[in-house]
Amino acid sequence: MIEVRNAKKVIQNGARRVEILKGISLTIPAGQFVAIVGASGSGKSTLLGLLAGLDSPSSGEIWLDGVPIHNLEEGQLAAVRGNKIGFVFQSYQLIPTLTALENVLLPFELNSSGNGLDKARSLLKSVGLAERMDHYPIQLSGGEQQRVALARAFVVEPPIVMADEPTGNLDSTNGRLVLDLLLDRNKRAGTTLVLVTHDPEVAAMADRKIVLRDGQIVEDTLPHEPLAEEQAQHG
């Protein structure tokens, strides 16, 4: 579903050349839940931005569902993003002048044909916001805004959902609810889920954990590997 081949990201800051990603290669199969973790500045949000087509690598290749997105023009890239990726930001990124329902409906109107109103309403009901559809973002709590953002990410039924610290601005109760909704989508719809997090509990729930340090992958752990090693050590 996702393949990265020696992707590098370099920025030039005056005379200073900063290597943010130093040759990342990985493959994520369809339906897998991957947590990307690492210290601040390790490159995890930059990597997620490349995977989502929100930014382009300085060199290397990014393939999404068989499409090479690293050399697409912006119009083509927007079409791929619109149909293949649902993105959830830490800061929600809702449009303040649109209601919850209108925010959810927007990606459908931009990328799909037909009437998505029933689907948008159904999604808002599924995230517990049946009574809040006509409210504007400013009238919603942080947890409610993030649930609107989830419904918006799901509305075109993308095969891939990416989330950048989706629980980072939420209390533990709302954070758990948002995570459960993402996991439910991953399990029921077979959605590939790639999530950046600093929370070890969230990372522990993933099928796979990728650890970045200084722009490189230093650990790539599939489920239960540490547990198996621990059991072997204890006989």
Residue 108: CATH number of its domain: 3.40.50.300
Relative to beta strand 67-68, strand 59-64 is: antiparallel
Q: Considering just the CA atoms, what is the radius of gyration of the chain in Å? A: 18
Looking at the structure of the chain, the number of domains it has is: 1
Q: Is the pLDDT confidence value at 235 over 50?
A: no
Q: Is the pLDDT confidence value at 194 over 90?
A: yes
pLDDT at 223: 61
∠ CA 58-61-64, rounded to 5°: 125
Distance in Å from the first CA to the final CA of the chain: 38
Region 193-214: mean pLDDT is 93
Q: In which residue are the tokens 């948002």 written?
A: 178
Encode 24-44: b = buried (16+ Cβ within 10 Å), e = exposed. Answer: bebebeeebbbbbbbeeebbb
**Mean confidence (pLDDT) of the chain:** 90
Q: Is the pLDDT confidence value at 122 over 80?
A: yes
Range of the domain at 132: 2-233
**Maximum Cα interatomic distance, the chain, rounded to a whole number of Å:** 61
Q: What is the pLDDT of residues 84-114, one digit of tens each?
A: 999 998 889 999 999 999 999 998 888 777 7
pLDDT category at 5 given cuts 50, 70, 90 is very high
Bridge partners (DSSP) of residue 192 are 160
